[in-house]
């Protein structure tokens, strides 16, 4: 038989044998390129885990379990963990005991005979393929209570009675060899219990059946919670909108809906807990802010060149720098607006040339070990000698910094005097100071109307130049815990932004020509630490215009010296 016929027969045999096993190759919803296939279908409850080649023998592989868990551990990623705490850290910077404490605090917010259900974040894919988008991002609430960074997972926190211990059940995919070939190691029930510290580890393929038993059980039952005893219906805490996007989620939602079990949203309780940060979380927020600042400074250096440089060049330098320092991803699409693009609050095109002496506004953030940063700085770029050359540029930027000083001074003053202060209070102070600035900057008559502080406030005209809030909460998400009202008094462990700004429309003919197209925003990350002190996490890069220019010049000089030294050393070693 010719080699060609042998190959054809082997291929026919391969496709025939895999078509009944949900093979990732040539599926009905995919394309024929193997490069487009990186994730097979989720195994069913009667899936290949029962086949011999897919069984995972824990006993025969005990030494490698920790390396097959599917997310960073001290053994696989020692550079991410604190060696002094290597036996307790579940994720970089956060210990197993802290995750357990979070679940315990959630349990105190649940009533008796209740179950809280959480799902992992969805996996998004490139169009017409099963190629997942890079750097899977876990759902923040799920991550907060479990430390599980992987998709296709779920958790239950079950509370029977006030005096009974909580039960923490983690659901993960069954071990599947084909899935491992395509997607790499993942935690599965045989290893998840030991690593994540749950009371029970169950295959997510069996979660629907498990939930039915939990809902039938009762805290008043004399036997175990899975006895099937009937009593008062369990109260279910779940965020229903999170359960409509996956097959497993829809199955669970149907069980709850069909049984008419009383339900309540979980996110209000989870966000109330996430709002106040622990010391470990504050450290991670500072690490993220520090990496973000390094990225912004790298962009500043790149902008001070006589070469042609674009907004995208500066955006890319920032992204490369933060990821080199350990960031998992950007916290949001970077805003890098030069010249009049700085007047667009969410400018994301980032594709224009930076000309000499253009003001460069970079609003950027990164996510590191689950915690984000969000910082904005403005500087002059586009040439080696770039500077603020326009008096209006100087005036707008300096006055935005003045408003920033007013807001931070109010915060400091109220915290010291133990006067309750909220994000709403900071915004009111910001608007008041911004109106004072606008009265000075705008002509006395604009569009046929007199410009006074009262007219700016009473008619809301200030929003034409300052259209956003001065603050939002920060944490695991850029706009963190949105269910916590801005009127809530700031407490110890709470983090937020302070970002005043002014934006003058380049097409507004009622403005002086020199003021049109000038935009500036200065954003800092601020925390009230656990000692009750105001801590500006972004303080390392100054905002005062003259101090900032000196800072950039110093960093360019230091960078040049380092580069020269490195080049000389390399040349000498080659000789």
Query: What is the predicted pLDDT for the residue at 64?
Result: 56
Q: Where are the beta strands (DSSP E) in 320-444?
A: 329-330, 335-338, 358-364, 366-368, 371-372, 375-381
Angle between helices 279-303 and 311-324 (to 10 degrees): 140
pLDDT of residue 560: 54
CATH of range 276-560; options 3.90.230.10, 3.40.630.10, 1.10.10.10, 1.10.3720.10: 3.90.230.10
Q: 139 and 245 in contact (C-beta within 8 Å)?
A: no
Question: From the DSSP assignment, how many helices (H) and strands (E) are in the chain?
Answer: 14, 21
- Are β-strands 524-528 and 167-172 bridged in parallel, bridged antiparallel, or unpaired? unpaired
pTM exceeds 0.75, yes or no: yes
The rounded average pLDDT for each run of 10 residues, N- to C-terminus, in the chain (575 residues) is: 54 43 33 35 38 47 63 92 92 97 97 96 90 90 97 96 94 91 89 92 95 80 43 88 90 90 95 98 98 98 96 98 97 97 96 97 98 98 94 96 98 98 98 97 79 92 97 98 98 98 96 95 98 98 97 81 40 39
Structure-token pair, residue 11: 């291929």
Domain 25-54+65-273, classified CATH 3.20.20.70, yes or no: no
Q: Is 281 helix (H, G, I), strand (E, B) or coil?
A: helix
Per the structure block, which two tokens stand in for 14? 């391969």
pLDDT computed for residue 9 by the predictor: 57
Sequence spans of domains, the chain: 25-54+65-273, 276-560
Q: Which alpha helices (DSSP H) does 197-325 contain, by range? A: 207-216, 247-258, 267-275, 279-303, 311-324
pLDDT score for 134: 83
3-state secondary structure of 506: coil
Q: Which residue has the tokens 């220019």?
A: 549
Q: Which residues lie across from 202 on neighbouring strands?
A: 171
CB proximity list for 209: less than 8 A, separation 6 or greater? none
Sorted by sequence, the CB contacts under 8 Å of residue 486 that are 6+ apart come out as: 422, 423, 424, 427, 469, 471
Whose CA is closest to 109, among 228, 270, 241? 270
Q: Could you tell me where the DSSP H helices lie in 304-390?
A: 311-324
Contact predicate 197/167, CB 8 Å: no
What's the confidence (pLDDT) of residue 46? 39
For residue 467 the two structure tokens come to: 């259209």
């Amino acid at each position: 038989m010719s080699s060609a016929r042998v190959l054809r027969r082997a291929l026919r045999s391969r496709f025939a044998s895999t078509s009944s096993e949900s093979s990732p190759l040539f599926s009905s919803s995919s394309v024929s390129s193997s490069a487009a296939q990186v994730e097979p279908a989720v195994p069913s409850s009667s899936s290949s885990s029962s086949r011999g080649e897919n069984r995972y023998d824990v006993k025969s592989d005990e030494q490698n379990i920790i390396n097959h868990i599917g997310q960073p551990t001290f053994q696989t990623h020692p550079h991410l963990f604190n060696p002094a705490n290597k036996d307790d850290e579940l994720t970089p910077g956060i210990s197993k005991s802290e995750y357990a404490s979070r679940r315990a605090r959630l349990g105190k917010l649940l009533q008796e005979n209740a179950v809280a259900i959480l799902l992992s974040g969805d996996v998004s894919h490139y169009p017409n393929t099963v190629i997942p988008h890079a750097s899977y991002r876990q759902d923040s609430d799920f991550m907060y209570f479990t430390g599980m960074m992987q998709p296709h997972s779920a958790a239950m926190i079950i509370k029977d009675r006030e005096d009974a211990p909580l039960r923490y059940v983690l659901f993960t995919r069954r071990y599947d060899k084909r899935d491992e070939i395509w997607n790499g190691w993942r935690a599965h029930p045989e290893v998840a219990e030991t690593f994540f510290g749950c009371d029970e580890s169950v295959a997510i393929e069996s979660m629907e059946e498990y939930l039915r038993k939990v809902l039938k059980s009762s805290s008043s039952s004399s036997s175990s919670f899975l006895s099937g005893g009937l009593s008062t219906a369990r109260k279910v805490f779940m965020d229903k909108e999170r359960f409509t996007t996956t097959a497993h989620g829809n199955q669970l939602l149907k069980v709850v809906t069909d049984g008419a079990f009383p339900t309540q949203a979980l996110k209000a309780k989870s966000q109330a807990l996430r709002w106040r940060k622990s010391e470990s979380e504050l450290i991670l927020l500072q690490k993220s802010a520090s990496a973000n600042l390094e990225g912004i400074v790298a962009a500043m250096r790149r902008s001070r060149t006589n070469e042609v440089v674009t907004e995208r060049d500066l955006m890319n330098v920032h992204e490369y720098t933060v990821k080199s320092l350990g960031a998992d991803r950007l916290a949001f699409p970077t805003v890098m607006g030069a010249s009049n693009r700085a007047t667009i609050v969410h400018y994301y095109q980032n594709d224009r040339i930076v000309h000499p002496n253009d003001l460069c506004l970079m609003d950027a953030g990164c996510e590191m070990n689950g915690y984000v940063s969000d910082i904005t700085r403005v500087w002059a770029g586009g040439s080696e000698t770039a500077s603020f050359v326009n008096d209006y540029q100087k005036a707008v930027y300096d006055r935005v910094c003045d408003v920033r000083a007013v807001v931070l001074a109010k915060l400091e003053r109220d915290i010291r005097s133990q006067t309750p202060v909220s994000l709403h209070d900071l915004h009111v102070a910001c608007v008041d100071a911004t109106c004072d600035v606008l009265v000075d900057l705008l002509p006395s008559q604009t569009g046929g109307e007199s410009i006074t502080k009262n007219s700016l406030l009473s008619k809301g005209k200030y929003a034409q130049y300052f259209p956003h809030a001065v603050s939002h909460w920060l944490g695991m998400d850029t706009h963190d815990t949105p269910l916590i009202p801005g009127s809530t008094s700031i407490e110890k462990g709470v983090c937020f932004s302070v970002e005043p700004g002014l934006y003058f429309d380049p097409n507004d003919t009622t403005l002086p020509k020199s003021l049109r197209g000038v935009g500036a925003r200065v954003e800092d990350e601020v925390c009230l630490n656990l000692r009750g002190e105001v801590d500006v996490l972004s303080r390392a890069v100054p905002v005062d215009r003259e101090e900032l220019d000196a800072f950039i010049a110093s960093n360019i000089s230091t960078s040049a010296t380092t580069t020269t030294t490195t080049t000389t050393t390399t040349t000498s070693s080659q000789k």
